[in-house]
Chains A and B, each alone.
Chain A
Amino acid sequence: SQQGEEDPQALSIQEGENATMNCSYKTSINNLQWYRQNSGRGLVHLILIRSNEREKHSGRLRVTLDTSKKSSSLLITASRAADTASYFCATDQNNAGNMLTFGGGTRLMVKP
């Protein structure tokens, strides 16, 4: 079964706007990770946030984690057409650090 569930499933915005994607999970975790996938390619790791962290930044990316609500969000600020991709959250289900479970992803389209 899927551990993480992203919403929305699809998001379409204009270039320059911010994009927010959410992820919910079910069990305890050591960390939560966000990945990006361009169409027909492998996934690329974006950011990892540990269970004892609440917020993390990397360039235009901002990730928050709320372990009490078992949820995370990924914010992409000042979006660009090149940000168009699918974004996935992944967690180590039941603290199984060697095994990641992925959600269904959010398909982001940024219109120029």
Chain B
Amino acid sequence: SQTIHQWPATLVQPVGSPLSLECTVEGTSNPNLYWYRQAAGRGLQLLFYSIGIDQISSEVPQNLSASRPQDRQFILSSKKLLLSDSGFYLCAWTGADNSPLHFGNGTRLTVT
């Protein structure tokens, strides 16, 4: 069966520090991969999606970047965090277009 791993679960980082959040998927190949951010009590904002290795699309201009160095690995990064980067970050995958998304358990990032 397919599983998605996302870590860490919580993270507290000072302003100006770098960020690296990792997401890996098991039990499937060539998934579509996604990074979403959720502000407290709000909906999800799509940050990045990827349909293949090194194929990344960005949905909003921001302080973040994403990379997909391997088929089932998706990394969210920042060189210098801002206070506004605080939020709940969710990784998700799907096996095909127009199919349900499967989410990880999220990373709660607090930038202080």
Interface residues of A (CB under 8 A from B): 2, 30-31, 33, 35, 40-45, 48, 88, 90, 92, 97-105, 107
Q: Quote the shortest CB–CB distance from B84 to chain A (angstroms).
A: 18
Please name the residue on chain A nearest to B42 by beta carbon.
A104
- Residues of A within 8 Å of B100, CB to CB, are 33, 45, 48
Please name the residue on chain A nearest to B57 by beta carbon.
A99
Q: Quote the shortest CB–CB distance from A33 to chain B (angstroms).
A: 6
Q: Quote the shortest CB–CB distance from B82 to chain A (angstroms).
A: 22
Please name the residue on chain A nearest to B94 by beta carbon.
A98
What is the size category of the interface that chain B forms with chain A?
Answer: 20 to 34
Interface residues of B (CB under 8 A from A): 6, 32, 36, 41-44, 46, 49, 51, 59, 88, 90, 92, 94, 97-106, 108
The one of A2, A45, A104, A105 that contacts B101, using a Cβ cutoff of 8 Å? A45
Decide yes or no: A42 and B32 within 8 Å by CB, A2-B43, A98-B51 being known contacts: no
Instruction: Kindly name the residue among B32, B43, B104 whose own CB sees the greatest number of chain A CB atoms within 10 A.
Output: B43
Q: Quote the shortest CB–CB distance from A94 to chain B (angstroms).
A: 13
User: Does the CB pair A101–B98 fall under 8 Å?
Assistant: no
The one of A31, A33, A102, A107 that contacts B44, using a Cβ cutoff of 8 Å? A102
For the complex of A and B, the 6 pairs showing the least CB-CB separation, nearest first, are A97-B97, A42-B103, A45-B100, A97-B98, A104-B43, A102-B44
- Residues of A within 8 Å of B101, CB to CB, are 33, 35, 43, 45, 90, 100
Please name the residue on chain A nearest to B44 by beta carbon.
A102
Selected A-B contacts with CB under 8 Å, 14 pairs: A2-B43, A33-B101, A40-B108, A41-B106, A42-B6, A42-B104, A42-B106, A43-B44, A43-B103, A45-B100, A88-B43, A98-B94, A101-B46, A104-B42
- Residues of B within 8 Å of A100, CB to CB, are 46, 101
User: Does the CB pair B105–A42 fall under 8 Å?
Assistant: yes
User: Does the CB pair A98–B49 fall under 8 Å?
Assistant: yes
Please name the residue on chain B nearest to A100 by beta carbon.
B101
Q: Quote the shortest CB–CB distance from A108 to chain B (angstroms).
A: 13
- Expressed in whole angstroms, the Cα–Cα distance for A44 and B94 within the complex equals 13
